[in-house]
């Protein structure tokens, strides 16, 4: 973005410069992620999609599950689901992102690494997070059976601790982040909090 502005003879603003520096730092820090885990007990995988928009803002992609779903209705989550056949976590995450929001597999430009596998309220559901830098398509197309809305906040908003709250649940501290569309919490919040530790 910075080079494009310079080539056009446009003096970039301080905000554009700040965004450029932040984006460079994000991609640099995430290069230190460990490889994607593939524990034998893992039956699920999610894609943690990040991209840089036209203004240079780094954004992350969530979905909100419809209220009619049998499990986790209304939750804010990452695209993902259960393994099929002999899939590994990366293949599962890419396929599910295509099925849920029509993110083409070839738009997953770089798998940056993985985060700690987590469980949901069902402790048998071990989920592998796959962090990837994507090329955002012109538009996402949510599958209405699985996705009510798509949420694409700037990553620096998530780094603002004042936007987060915590609650005690059965002796455990859980994190919550409120979007207009719904609440980020549970396993997805755990994944996000670990991701943010690489960016602090």
Q: What is the CATH number of the domain that holds 110?
A: 3.90.79.10
Q: Give mean pLDDT, residues 82-93.
A: 95
Give the total number of structural domains in the chain. Answer: 1
d(CA 192, CA 171): 21
68, two tokens: 């009619």
| Tokens 């919040």 belong to residue | 189
Phi-psi region of 182 (alpha: psi -120 to 50; beta: other; left: phi over 0): left
Residue 48 has pLDDT above 70, yes or no: yes
Domain carrying residue 91: 2-197
Residue 93 has pLDDT above 70, yes or no: yes
What percentage of the chain reaches a pLDDT higher than 90? Answer: 76
Q: Please check whether residue 89 is in contact with residue 116, taking contact to mean a CB–CB distance below 8 angstroms.
A: no
Q: pLDDT category, 2, cuts 50, 70, 90?
A: very low
Residue 6: the pLDDT is: 46
Residue 13: the pLDDT is: 78
> What are the tens digits of pLDDT across the range 110-162?
999 999 999 977 667 899 999 999 999 999 999 999 999 999 999 999 999 99
């Amino acid at each position: 973005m910075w080079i494009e502005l310079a080539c056009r003879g446009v003096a970039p603003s301080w905000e554009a410069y700040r965004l450029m520096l932040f984006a460079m730092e994000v991609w640099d820090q995430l290069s230190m992620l460990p490889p994607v885990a593939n524990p034998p007990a893992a039956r699920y995988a999610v894609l943690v999609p990040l991209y840089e928009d036209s203004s240079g803002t780094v954004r992350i992609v969530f979905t909100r599950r419809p209220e009619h779903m049998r499990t986790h209705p209304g939750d804010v989550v990452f695209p993902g689901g259960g393994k099929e056949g002999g899939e590994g976590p990366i293949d599962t995450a890419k396929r599910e992102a295509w099925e849920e929001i029509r993110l083409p597999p070839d738009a997953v430009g770089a798998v940056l690494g993985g985060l700690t596998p987590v469980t949901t309220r069902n402790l048998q559901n071990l989920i592998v997070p796959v962090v990837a830098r994507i090329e955002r398509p012109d538009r996402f197309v949510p599958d209405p059976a699985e996705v009510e809305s798509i949420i694409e906040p700037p990553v620096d908003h998530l780094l603002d601790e004042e936007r987060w709250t915590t609650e005690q649940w059965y002796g455990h501290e859980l994190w919550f982040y409120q979007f207009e569309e719904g609440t980020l919490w549970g396993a997805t919040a755990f994944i996000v909090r670990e991701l943010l530790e690489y960016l602090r």
